[in-house]
Amino acid sequence: MQDDQILSVGIDLGTSTTQLILSRLTVKNFAAAFSVPRINISKKEVIFQSDIIFTPLASQNEIDADAITKFVADQYRAAGINKSDIQMGAVIITGETARKENASAVTQALSGYAGDFVVATAGPDLESIIAGKGAGTNVTATKRRRNVVNMDIGGGTSNLGLFSDEDILDTACFDIGGRLIKITPSTKEITYISPKVKQLIEKLNLSIHEGMTITTQQLQPIIDVLVNVLENSIGVGEKSPYFDLFITNHALHPEHKIDGVTFSGGVADCLNEELPADVLRYGDIGLLLGYGVRHSRIFKDKTIYPSVETIRATVVGAGSHTTDVTGSTIAYTDGILPLRNLPILKITKSDENLAEDELAQTVEEKINWYKVQNELTNVALAFTGKHSPSFSDIQRYAAGIVKGAQVLIDKHEPLIIMVHEDMAKALGHSLFAKLPEHYPFVCIDSVKVENGDYIDLGEPVAGGEVLPVIVKTLVFG
Amino acid sequence: MDEKDLKSMIENILADMTDDKKAAATTTTTDTRSAATPATNDSTVSGDVLDDITKIDLKKQFLQDDPHDREGYLKIKSFTPARLGMGRVGTRYKTASVLRFRADHAAAQDAVFSDVDPQLPKDMGFFETQTTCTSKDEFLTRPDYGRKFSDETVAAIKKNVTPNPKIQMVVGDGLSSAAIEANVKEIIPAIQQGLKVYGLGFETKDVIFVKYARVGAEDQIGEVTGADVVCMLVGERPGLVTAKSMSAYIAYKPTIGMPEANRTVVSNIHDGGMPAVEAGAYIAELLDKMVRLKKSGIDLKAAENAGA
């Protein structure tokens, strides 16, 4: 097999900025010439970076969809590629932008516009993981063998992703960012205050409101609280009474140890020792917040590691680090790929060891959980599998699956099976034998998923040996 | 030192190893010995059996005293079965390493010198044959005898095995009977099931079992049966990591004296490498490819690369 390449796009619609990158993933067979193939992604290169533009808004509550599609079209033209060349990728809508009224409509439309197989994703947990990977925090955590948290401080939100080795341990999100207050640089007039900051102003009894002119001294009490909450978010400093106010969805679980910190997001470029002369030149509080974080206890108590990307971390993460490949011995029928947005239904390890009929019963019951308004939606059935299984194990799995998934088979939904252990090809052959003739199925291994994840499977690469896969982790236990 | 003393010494060493606390390491040698005396009495009474040292996962066994970075070393060890971080006593290995080394070496020797359980080919329904070797010693000293069949055997194969098949399966003991015993029962049905996907197949009664077999034996079988593709499962020369590694040597229309480059090999089939059933599924796909492209070995690779 020759090396193969996947062209992937990442688009980040953030609170303040929108960016796009194109990256080229090289897929390589690492096994010797006569061995069973062992195919992995060997190289991830960013081959095109767009300009960073302010996210176009039609109004304070609506995204300007036309302006964004035009931006994407312009960037594709500048990069000299057709959208049909793009094989994988992700549009991620983040921060406050995700809460705009037409957010989901815009991302859905854009994902189709950006390329046929580009997936639209949202959710603060996923954003935290993507930003952390884009910032290279997982690499730092692996190299140093420390628990390292990435703090992606953007315009509207701060996303935390805690890594131990390559594994993500936990995520968190706070409504803290550089553009919670917008100020016209020339007149020093406040044009926007985020809802949560308005609440804070009220509780602090400050007389700050939209339309007034402001000095940095007047803003300082607000900055102090924001910095304090960021300290608290990784377990540092005295607990702020406003901590809970700024939590977007949840904080980090306190039982995890945090050794080091990386920073990304726009504010990561503002972590200055000295306050610049014109602190309001970006028309927001980014420079003040960055200066505050630089002098916070985070820098005193934790080791700060450099990050690979700062303001581009999320978009690079979306373009380069969402796609993975399956194991190299898998089975699938032709013509059913790509498949998008399949919810994962993971069978517990203890249920996996049940005899054929009980296994079938468990599978059937769990498939029924995914009945939405009495309509069955297709799911990807996930198993841990057995290390070095016997042939009778394989037969038992296959029989249990085919019997249990009869409801899906009756509806002629393609059967999607994922196992973690290396056994997908044998299991796939077994399924082939037990399924009706020409029944479409995919059976892949070496992909780790949990309940609550969603998965996208792309068209085969590397001479059909592997499938590109994007696992979208949305929930943490 | 009599046997009892030796046993108690080993017991103590093993107890030290399993005890992670530094306290054990700081105990002086004299202390350990004096503590050993009552232990000897205990063990005579209890009649306990020592734990099987070959059950210890080498990737997780770390015997270095006072490591600077235990976690880091274990991480390195997780990537290799090599005996790293075994520590030392003066200039020598620790007793635990020496015993394990000898145990693994013994397993390797056993795999070479013992025969495949004679019941296995019968249970599987294979057609049993033997090369021109008459004993294990001759097999080990005369590789050329292990590639040939007598005229009588050739006649028996012709009589009993379906001629001119698309796929001829062969199972040979090779240098590890343990590998055959561990993997054949799992891999044969996996290959058969996989072949069905491609509309191919074979019957177990047509599988030729070869005692005292070298890989080259498949070449004569190819000529005798007139098969399109011959696939020989054979036990690999054992090492200290595993004695149960099997390979499949597959060739399109093999002939005696053909270049080795015409063989495609799938190696490292064992529970720590590629699981037998998954290897079987992979081999089935490979067999289909060879039947279709009428090629194997380097030629097959070249054809695949040209097509890719």
Q: How many CB atoms are located within 10 Å of the residue A221 CB?
A: 14
* Bridge partners for B128 per DSSP: B209
Last residue within a domain, chosen from B48, B78, B113: B113
Residues of chain B neighbouring A461 (CB-CB closer than 8 A): none
Tell me how many residue pairs between chain A and chain B have CB atoms under 8 A apart: 83
- Please judge whether B193 and A426 are an interchain contact, meaning their C-beta atoms are less than 8 angstroms apart: yes
Q: What is the rounded end-to-end Cα distance, in angstroms, of chain A?
A: 40
Cα separation, B263 vs B268, whole angstroms: 16
- Amino acid occupying residue A235: G
Separation between Cα atoms, residue A469 and residue A456, nearest integer Å: 6
> In terms of Cα–Cα distance, which of B254, B247, B290, B243 is closest to B147?
B254
| Contacts B272 to A, Cβ<8 Å | 388
Residues B103 and B245 in one domain: no
Ramachandran assignment for A462, one of left (phi > 0), alpha (psi -120 to 50 degrees), beta (any other): left
Of A2, A145, A422, the CB nearest to B305: A2
Cα angle value A37/A39/A45 (rounded, 5°): 155
Spatial separation of the C-alpha atoms in residues A176 and A224, rounded to whole Å: 12
Q: Using DSSP, state whether B229 is helix, strand or coil.
A: strand
For residues B79 and B128, state if they share a domain. Answer: no
**Do B79 and B158 have their domain in common?**
no
Rounded to the nearest 5°, which phi and psi values hold at A428?
Answer: -60, -45
pLDDT tens digit sequence for A270-298: 998 888 888 898 999 999 999 999 999 99
Q: Given an 8 Å threshold on Cβ–Cβ distance, is B280 in contact with A422?
A: no
Q: Residue B271 is nearest to which of A33, A34, A388, comparing CB atoms? A: A388
Query: Per DSSP, what are the bridge partners of residue A151?
Result: A160, A263
The parent domain of residue B18 ranges over 3-113
In this prediction, residue A328 carries a pLDDT of: 82
- Residue ranges of alpha helices (H) inside chain B are 3-18, 22-26, 29-46, 70-77, 95-113, 119-124, 136-141, 151-160, 177-197, 217-225, 276-293, 297-307
Residue B208's pLDDT band (cuts 50, 70, 90) = very high
Q: Is B278 on the interface with A (CB under 8 A)?
A: yes
Judge: B194–A426 Cβ closer than 8 Å, yes or no.
yes
Coil, strand, or helix at residue A283? coil
Q: Same domain for B190 and B235?
A: yes
B296 touches chain A (CB under 8 A): no
Co-location of B31 and B163 in the same domain: no
Q: Assign A423 to helix, strand or coil.
A: coil
Closest CA to A328 of B190, B263, B78, B279: B279
The three-point CA angle A159-A165-A167 to 5° equals 60
Cα torsion A50, A51, A57, A61: sign: positive
Output the pLDDT for position B2. Answer: 62
Helices and strands: H and E segment counts in chain A? 14, 25
| B277 in contact with chain A, both atoms CB, cutoff 8 A | yes
The predicted structure's pLDDT at residue B29: 40
Q: How far is A394 from chain B (nearest CA, A)?
A: 8
* Residue in chain B nearest A329 by alpha carbon: B282
What pLDDT shows up at residue B16? Answer: 60
Which residues in B lie closer than 8 A to residue A394 (C-beta atoms)? 190, 277
Pull the structure tokens for residue B28: 């002086």
Pairing relation of β-strands A339-346 and A454-457?
Answer: antiparallel
B86 CB near a chain A CB, below 8 Å? Answer: no
* Residue A419 distance to chain B (closest CA, Å): 13
Q: Does residue B57 sit at the A interface (CB-CB below 8 Å)?
A: no
For residue B22, give the CATH number of its domain. Answer: 1.10.30.40
Mean pLDDT of the region A409-436: 91
Nearest to A429 among B193, B274, B275 (CB): B193
For residue A77, give the H/E element and its range.
helix A65-79
Question: Using one digit for the tens of pLDDT, what is the confidence trace for B7-33?
Answer: 676 666 666 655 544 444 444 444 444
A110 with A55: CB under 8 angstroms? no
Chain A residues touching residue B274 (CB < 8 angstroms): 36, 422
Q: Do the Cβ atoms of B278 and A422 come within 8 Å?
A: yes
**pLDDT above 70 coverage of chain A, percent:** 95
Q: Is B285 annotated as a binding residue?
A: no
Q: Are residues B59 and B155 in the same domain?
A: no
- Read out DSSP for A196-216? HHHHHHHHTT----TTSB--H
Q: Do domains A4-122 and A127-312 have the same CATH topology?
A: yes
What percent of chain B has a predicted confidence (pLDDT) above 90?
A: 70
Provide φ and ψ at B271, rounded to 5°.
Answer: -70, -15
Spatial neighbors of B78 by CB under 8 A, at least 6 apart, are B59, B60
Cis status of the peptide bond prior to A124, with omega within 30 of 0: no
Question: What integer best gives the mean pLDDT of chain B?
Answer: 87
DSSP state of A154: -
Q: In Å, how far from its chain's centre is CA A302? A: 25
Contacts of A463 in chain B (CB under 8 A): 304, 307-308
Name the residue among B194, B266, B271 with its Cβ closest to that of A36.
B266
Q: Which of B113, B142, B168 is the last residue of a domain?
A: B113
Whether residue A425 and residue B266 make contact (CB cut-off 8 A), yes or no, is: no
Same domain, B234 and B139: yes
Query: Which residue, among B278, B285, B289, would best test binding to A if mutated, counting the most A CBs under 10 Å from its CB?
Result: B278
| Alpha helices per DSSP H over B145-296 | 151-160, 177-197, 217-225, 276-293
Residues of A whose CB is below 8 A from B189? 391
Residues B21 and B66 in one domain: yes
Interface predicted TM-score (ipTM) of this complex, two decimals: 0.76
Chain A partners of B299 at a C-beta cutoff of 8 Å? Answer: none
The verdict on a CB contact (< 8 Å) between A429 and B197 is: yes
Alpha carbon A109 to its chain centroid, in Å, reads: 19
Residue of B nearest to A144 (CA): B72
Asked if A391 lies within 8 A of B194 by C-beta distance, the reply is no
CB contact under 8 A, A388 and B308: no
The answer to whether B146 touches B139, Cβ cutoff 8 Å, is yes
Q: Are B186 and A422 an interchain contact pair (Cβ–Cβ within 8 Å)?
A: no
Question: Measured between beta carbons, which residues in chain A are less than 8 angstroms from residue B261?
Answer: none
Residue B235 and residue B154 share a domain: yes
Q: Kindly list the distances between the CA atom of residue A444 and the CA atoms of A252, A388, A396, in Å, as whole numbers in the listed order.
A: 33, 16, 17
Task: Tell me if chain A has a CB within 8 Å of the CB of B194.
Answer: yes
Residue B70, C-beta contacts closer than 8 angstroms, at least 6 positions apart? B62
B242 interface with A at CB cutoff 8 Å:
no
pLDDT above 70 for A391: yes
B46 with B126, same domain: the answer is no
Judging contacts by C-beta atoms under 8 Å, the chain B residues touching residue A426 are 190, 193-194, 275, 277-278, 280-281
Bridge-based pairing state of the strands A189-193 and A181-184: antiparallel
Distance from CA of A9 to the nearest CA of B (A): 25
Dihedral sign, Cα of residue B90, residue B95, residue B100, residue B103: positive
The domain locations on chain A are: 4-122, 127-312, 326-472
Rounded mean pLDDT of A237-246? 94
DSSP one-letter code for A247: B
What was the pLDDT predicted at A403?
Answer: 93
The band of A33, judged by pLDDT with boundaries at 50, 70 and 90, is low
* Least confident stretch, A350-354, B32-36, B62-66, B231-235: B32-36
Architecture of domain A4-122: 2-Layer Sandwich (3.30)
CATH assignment of A127-312? Answer: 3.30.420
Tokens of A41: 């992604």
What the block records as the tokens of A86 is 């793009």
One-letter amino acid for residue B270 of the chain: H
Residues of chain A with C-beta less than 8 angstroms from the C-beta of B193: 426, 429-430, 433
Instruction: State how many domains chain B has.
Output: 2
Q: Is B268 within 8 Å of chain A by CB?
A: yes
Contact B277 A391 (CB under 8 A): yes
Question: pLDDT band for position B39 (50/70/90)?
Answer: very low
Query: In the predicted model, is pLDDT for residue B103 greater than 50?
Result: yes
Nearest to B194 among A393, A429, A463 (CB): A429
- Which residue out of B71, B268, B277, B282 would a mutagenesis test of the A interface target, given it has the greatest number of A Cβ atoms within 10 Å? B277
Whether residue B251 has pLDDT greater than 90: yes
Residues B228 and B141 in one domain: yes
Over residues B256-292, the pLDDT tens digits come to 999 999 999 999 999 888 999 999 999 999 999 999 9
* Position with higher pLDDT, B189 vs A372: B189
Q: Which amino acid is at A398?
A: A
- Of A2, A36, A391, which has the smallest distance from its Cβ to B282's Cβ? A36
Alpha-carbon distance of B292 to A415, in angstroms, equals: 28
Shortest distance between the Cα of A148 and any Cα of chain B, in A, equals 16
Q: What is the pLDDT of residue A206?
A: 92
Strand, coil or helix: what is B168? strand
> What does the DSSP assignment read for A19-33?
EEEEEEEEEEE-S-T
More confident residue, A97 or A387: A387
Q: Is B71 annotated as a binding residue?
A: no
End-to-end CA distance of chain B: 67
d(CA A130, CA A264): 11
Read off the pLDDT of each residue in A422-446 and give the average, rounded to a whole number: 91
Looking at the fold, whether B105 and B123 belong to one and the same domain comes out as no
Closest listed residue to residue A268, CA positions, set A135, A170, A357: A135
